[in-house]
Structure 1
Amino acid sequence: MKHTYIYVIGFIAAILGAWFFQKATQLPQPEHALYYQHARDIKPFELIDHNGDPFTKAKLKGKWSLVFFGYTSCPDVCPTTLQNLGYIYDELKVAAHNSQILLVSVDPQRDTQEKLSQYIAYFNAEFIALRAGHDVLFPFARNLGLMYAISGEGEGYLVDHSASLVLINPEGKIAAIFKPEQEVGKVVSIDSDKLLSDYQKIVALY
């Protein structure tokens, strides 16, 4: 009797698994993002937000997070990306009410808490800006599949960084990466309409 009960449970689980798999494959799939069928783990980290509060992996749980690495002195890609995210933010929240936008500064020397607070509020009061020392930022960037580099000396040093956006699911794992489109000799920001379209599809898959 006990073995029969186990077999029945196993059979039901197999049927439900097949049903969920079929349902997932019938839903529209992302067309532009690098989507991970098996979400990638994120190692523990601790950043500081623009209000001076700790921001750890725990604050990713229960949220759909779009993470962008940039800095306040960035002349083009950063403000354009944040502005485009501001344009579609309401629609992102329609797709998932628990959406959040995170800017991680790769220039902690110049991007003080006060400066980040003023900068991020310009784009949207709900956006969150984060900072930490390079000893935390470098491994965090690598973990997310992003990169940045500091070049030059003195106050005029330059910062090169990835222009991609990382999508983290409510389990705190990497679900997808949105990469900017390329032009000859030039990197342009991510197309917000394509981002929104894939965001809606990915959220619906969960």
Structure 2
Amino acid sequence: MARYTSEDTMPVMKSASAIFLLTALVLAAALPFAQGLLNEIDGKAGFYGYKTDVPVPSLPGAYVPDGGLNVVFFGYRSCGTVCPLQLLNLKALHDRLQGHPVQFVFVTLDPESDSQEELDGVMATMGSNFRAVRPASFRQAQELAQEYGDFSAREGGVSKEINHGARIYVVTADDRRQLLYASPDLDLDRVSADLVQLMEHAKG
């Protein structure tokens, strides 16, 4: 009977790991284009972001401006991965859309560590139309994110990291999520055009 040792399985494991890594890289590169493709498939062409129309909870202290939009992102201050990238995107969009009723809302997923004062201080450095929302607990933040279509989970052990999505959500004044952007790798010209188009549609 043939015997297999751990050394025999190492090449197979390395090959599988390489395939997994390559697949992940391909999917990451495809995310910015997937949004537009999904809209084409669903017959919702005309938007760069993924077009949806679902109700979401209003955000206390950050209600959608009349005739305008909320651009919502779930993250936390000590996040060192996707949050800085998406905040840079939001800052760039804020500067491009001066004069439009667009509010940029950062919802912390780590209210135990992020005080409202600290969050407000960060938002003040970003721009006049930035707001911060701090749920009462991680559980409430997690549930709120889930209602918007996001996910969040604490890593195990002593780590304080929170795994979460990198999505940006666009909400109209009737508290309906109308657009979703799934990746920080965005064409900001097209995102800006989406937001202006959505506001024009709202005017009727």
Give 1:138 shift. Answer: 2.2
Of 68, 75, 79, 1:70 maps to 75
Q: State TM-score, norm by structure 1.
A: 0.67
Aligned equivalent of 2:46: 29
Distance 1:126 1:198, change over 3 A: closer
In the alignment, the residues of structure 2 paired with residue 190 and residue 108 of structure 1 have an alpha-carbon distance, to the nearest angstrom, of: 28
Aligned equivalent of 1:98: 101
Of 132, 143, 146, 1:142 maps to 146
**SS at 1:69's partner residue?**
strand
In the alignment, the residues of structure 2 paired with residue 112 and residue 152 of structure 1 have an alpha-carbon distance, to the nearest angstrom, of: 23
**Over the residues paired in the alignment, what is the CA RMSD in angstroms?**
2.2
Distance 1:203 1:61, change over 3 A: closer
Q: Which runs of 5+ in 2 are unaligned?
A: 1-44
- Structure 1 stretches (4+) deviating beyond 6 angstroms? none
Does residue 171 of the first structure (1) align with residue 186 of the second (2)?
Answer: no
RCO comparison, higher one (Cα < 8 Å, 6+): 1
In the alignment, the residues of structure 2 paired with residue 72 and residue 195 of structure 1 have an alpha-carbon distance, to the nearest angstrom, of: 24
Of 181, 197, 200, 1:201 maps to 197
Describe how 1:114-153 pairs up with structure 2 within 5 A: 114-132=117-135, 133-153=137-157
In the alignment, the residues of structure 2 paired with residue 174 and residue 127 of structure 1 have an alpha-carbon distance, to the nearest angstrom, of: 18
Q: State TM-score, norm by structure 2.
A: 0.67
Which structure features the higher share of strand residues?
Answer: 1
Q: Which runs of 5+ in 1 are unaligned?
A: 1-27, 48-53, 181-187
